Amino acid sequence: MGWLDSLRGSIVAVDSAPFIYLIEEHPSFLPIVEQFFAAVESGSIHYVTSSITITEVLVHPYRQNRHDLVARYRSILSTSSDVAVYPVVSDIADSAARLRAAHNLRTPDAIQLATALMAKATAFLTNDYRLSKLPEINVVTMADAAAP
């Protein structure tokens, strides 16, 4: 749990994948995200995400007509007092464009990272290993967290 201890007392930006792993109970990553969200509930970690997360996590439930999953995602992302969901405002869009230009990122990734920087997050929790080399923020991948 060293990875989690390093995040205590900080703001962590959360990518879409950890929410998917939690809500859809991913067999490999569920224990890790449960630990993370337990730390959030205890108040030792604060977290933020971008409103683009809502778009990303709802696509498959809508395609599968899984309104139960849509409701669970909305519950954690729209009604939970634990998370701050940042809208994509012009400053975030501009920062995302700069990140895309500098690192050849996909737009959703750039928006997520720009949101993290705007929120003054010290870490970004994702499972996208391609983002792990960015110098702007400490990127923590779920795969790294799962490693012994």
The pLDDT tens digits of the residues spanning 117-140 come to 999 999 999 999 888 888 989 999
| Residue 132, in any domain of the structure | yes
Higher model confidence: residue 82 or residue 53?
Answer: 53
User: What CATH number should be reported for the domain holding residue 20?
Assistant: 3.40.50.1010
Note the pLDDT of residue 1: 58
Average pLDDT over residues 28-42: 92
In the sheet that holds 46-50, the strands lie side by side as 83-86, 46-50, 11-14, 123-126, 138-141
DSSP bridge pairs for 125: 14, 140
Note the pLDDT of residue 113: 97
Structure tokens, 14: 């959360």
| Residue 46, in any domain of the structure | yes
H or E segment to which residue 13 belongs = strand 11-14
Residue 25 has pLDDT above 70, yes or no: yes
Residue 41: partners with Cβ closer than 8 Å, 6 or more residues away: 82
| Residue 48, in any domain of the structure | yes
The backbone region for 94, taken as left when phi is positive above 0, alpha when psi lies in -120 to 50, beta otherwise, is: alpha
Domains of the chain: total? 1
Structure tokens, 107: 């737009």
The pLDDT tens digits of the residues spanning 85-116 come to 999 999 999 999 999 999 999 999 999 999 99
| Residue 148, in any domain of the structure | no
Confidence of residue 148 (pLDDT cuts 50, 70, 90): low
Alpha carbon of residue 53 to chain centroid: 7
| Residue 122, in any domain of the structure | yes
pTM flag (> 0.85):
yes
Residue 13 has pLDDT above 70, yes or no: yes
Could you list the residue range(s) of the whole structural domain that residue 73 is in? 2-143
Identify the three-state secondary structure at position 1. coil
